[in-house]
């Protein structure tokens, strides 16, 4: 990996982002990811190679289908750019370690897919979570950290399962979906228990920040559900990128609060 510049992996990420867009659109509809090929959802016209260049094709076509003029969602280039940035960061931060790089891009790519599917359909598909969990275990084993992965998976799954039961009893309605519980377990496979705790703390913090304006404007009530998968994805991504610094800051903060000056 040290031979290739980080920007090369960023460009690869742009093209992977195009595939993630296919996953986001087709997986909830239970469509094949392979057949048929990429086509316009409006008129069904198969897309040519020139229509599939990440970001640039969208700009060249001005966000419209070449044939029918149907509007193309700006989400497509956004997903491509986010994925490109994720690959660039992963290459830059991996230090030449292929296993670390592979784990980071798999996790971040999966979180991108989960985020947009959950926003659109309020589901976190098992077809995404279970293969990622298996990949997380394998990569953790390669890195010599299978015990941390197992502890993280158990903490995430059973911890969220307990929260779901307690919340359901208190609110007298389902407090957390099964997809969120499985997602927490999957995150533990990649992150281990320490980084997972940071990710979950950030997830609830982000959820509170997002929900508060809605409550103040009375767009939602305190008992109204919101998709929590995107909050978990954002918290996990932030923990993955800045988790070490966050844990160090928190440790210094606690030490400064407890120990005498």
Secondary structure (DSSP) of 15-45: HHHHHHHHHHHHTTTT--SSSS-SB-TTT-P
Measure the CA–CA gap between 199 and 234, rounded to whole angstroms.
8
Taking only the tens place, the pLDDT of each residue in 62-91 is 899 888 888 989 999 999 999 999 999 999
Q: What is the pLDDT, as a whole number, of residue 172?
A: 74
Residue 179, exposed/middle/buried by CB under 10 A (0-12, 13-18, 19+)? Answer: buried
* Exposure string over 52-68, b if 16+ CB within 10 A, otherwise e: eebbebbeeeeeebbee
Taking only the tens place, the pLDDT of each residue in 29-59 is 999 998 888 888 778 888 888 888 999 999 9
pLDDT > 80? residue 261: no
**What kind and span of H or E run contains 70?**
none
pTM for this structure?
0.89
DSSP summary character for residue 259: S
Measure the CA–CA gap between 76 and 79, rounded to whole angstroms.
5
Q: Are 164 and 158 in contact (CB under 8 A)?
A: no
| Spatial CA neighbour of 124 closest among 207, 35, 116 | 116
Taking only the tens place, the pLDDT of each residue in 184-238 is 999 999 999 989 999 999 998 898 888 777 666 665 554 556 789 999 999 999 9
Q: What is the pLDDT, as a whole number, of residue 255?
A: 54
Measure the CA–CA gap between 98 and 118, rounded to whole angstroms.
30
């Amino acid at each position: 990996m040290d031979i290739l510049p980080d920007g090369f992996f960023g460009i690869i990420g742009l093209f992977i982002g195009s595939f993630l867009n296919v996953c986001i659109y087709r997986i909830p509809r239970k469509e094949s990811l392979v057949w048929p090929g990429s086509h316009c959802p409006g008129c069904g016209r198969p897309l040519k190679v020139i229509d599939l260049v990440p970001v640039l094709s969208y700009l060249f076509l001005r966000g419209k289908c070449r044939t029918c003029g149907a509007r193309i969602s700006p989400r497509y280039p956004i997903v491509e750019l986010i994925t490109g940035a994720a690959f660039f960061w992963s290459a830059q931060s991996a230090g030449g370690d292929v296993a670390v790089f592979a784990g980071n891009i798999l996790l971040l790519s999966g979180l991108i897919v989960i985020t947009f599917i959950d926003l659109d359909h309020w589901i976190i598909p098992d077809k995404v979570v279970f293969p990622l969990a298996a990949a997380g275990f394998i990569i953790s084993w390669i890195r010599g950290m299978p015990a941390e992965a197992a502890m993280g998976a158990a903490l995430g799954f059973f911890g969220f399962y307990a929260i779901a039961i307690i919340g359901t009893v208190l609110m007298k309605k389902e407090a957390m979906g099964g997809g969120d519980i499985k997602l927490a377990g999957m995150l533990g496979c990649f992150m281990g228990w320490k980084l997972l705790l940071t990710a979950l703390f950030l997830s609830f913090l982000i959820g509170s920040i997002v929900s508060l304006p809605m409550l103040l404007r009375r767009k939602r009530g305190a008992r109204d559900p919101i998709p929590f998968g995107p909050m978990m994805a954002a918290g996990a991504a932030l923990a993955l990128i800045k988790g070490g610094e966050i844990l160090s800051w928190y440790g210094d903060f606690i030490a400064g609060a407890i120990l005498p000056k």
